[in-house]
């Protein structure tokens, strides 16, 4: 059966930890589906670039690609940058853009995994407040999604969950930590809603100085790898036409 190549499109960073984490995630995806060809490209700072990888795939005779944005919200990169670069793919190469990763129940499970790995357990939930710390965005849709995720995560039993942002939006991580303290939460945990280390995740970590627990970035969590494959499968499978259309 013909399978499109999965091209994971990451943002890129001058911080070498970023690319290292992206490659670790892609290795986990490959381990889940060894028969699927999975490649990686970056929008900026790292190589291969997206245009370079598309040109290379076309030269190898590949004719079908699913490009999956390694992004948690549908902000500027998903709406503008990535579609623009994909439109310039070589002739004869069919490229479909998959949906961004968030929101998804799998991401909530990955967040919880990281918090538990940092030292908390299910018995701590009712007395612990959590800061859901994202990179931030000027896109109102992206900000609203983060607020929705915080509300949904709160319903799983945490004392309280508050969104926070490392840039572009408020509150900052440190302000959300103090708010949860003022609410009376016995412990405060900061859960970075980011995929890989870098400048903004480091800012989140500094803002977590007064928290009791700082979880790791989502990175190559098993749930994130499964989610990449879910998005790939959805993009490569045609949506049936509505009855009577």
> Which of 37, 27, 54, 4 has its CA nearest to residue 234?
4
pLDDT tens digits for range 52-108: 999 999 999 999 999 999 999 987 667 888 999 999 999 999 999 999 999 999 999
Question: 3-class DSSP state for residue 158?
Answer: coil
The confidence score (pLDDT) of residue 238 equals 67
Q: Judge if pTM exceeds 0.85.
A: yes
pLDDT tens digits for range 14-24: 999 999 999 99
Sheet strand arrangement including 213-214: 160-165, 128-134, 187-192, 213-214
pLDDT tens digits for range 132-148: 999 998 888 889 999 99
The two three-digit tokens of residue 238, written as one number = 């045609």
The confidence score (pLDDT) of residue 244 equals 40
Residue 122 has pLDDT above 70, yes or no: yes
pLDDT tens digits for range 177-226: 999 999 999 999 999 999 999 999 999 999 999 999 999 999 999 999 99
């Amino acid at each position: 059966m013909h399978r499109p190549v999965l091209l994971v499109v990451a943002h890129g960073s001058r911080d070498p930890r970023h690319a290292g984490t992206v490659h670790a995630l892609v290795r986990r995806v490959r381990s889940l589906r060894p028969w699927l060809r999975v490649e990686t490209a970056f929008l900026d700072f790292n190589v291969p670039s997206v245009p370079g990888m598309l040109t290379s795939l076309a030269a190898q005779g590949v004719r079908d690609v699913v490009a999956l944005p390694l992004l948690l919200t549908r902000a500027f990169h998903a709406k503008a940058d990535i579609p623009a670069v994909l439109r310039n793919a070589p002739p004869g190469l069919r490229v479909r853009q998959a949906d961004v990763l968030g929101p998804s129940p799998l991401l909530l499970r990955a967040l919880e995994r990281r918090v538990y790995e940092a030292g908390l357990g299910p018995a701590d939930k009712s007395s612990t407040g959590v800061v859901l710390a994202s990179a931030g965005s000027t896109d109102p849709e992206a900000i609203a999604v983060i607020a929705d995720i915080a509300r949904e995560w709160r319903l799983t039993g945490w004392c309280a969950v508050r969104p926070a942002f490392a840039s572009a939006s408020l509150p900052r991580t440190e302000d959300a930590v103090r708010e949860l303290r003022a609410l009376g939460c016995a412990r405060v945990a900061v859960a970075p809603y980011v995929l890989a280390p870098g400048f903004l995740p480091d800012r989140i970590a500094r803002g977590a100085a007064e928290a009791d627990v700082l979880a790791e970035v989502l990175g190559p969590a098993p749930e994130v790898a499964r989610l990449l494959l879910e998005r790939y499968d959805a993009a490569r499978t045609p949506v049936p036409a509505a009855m009577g259309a």
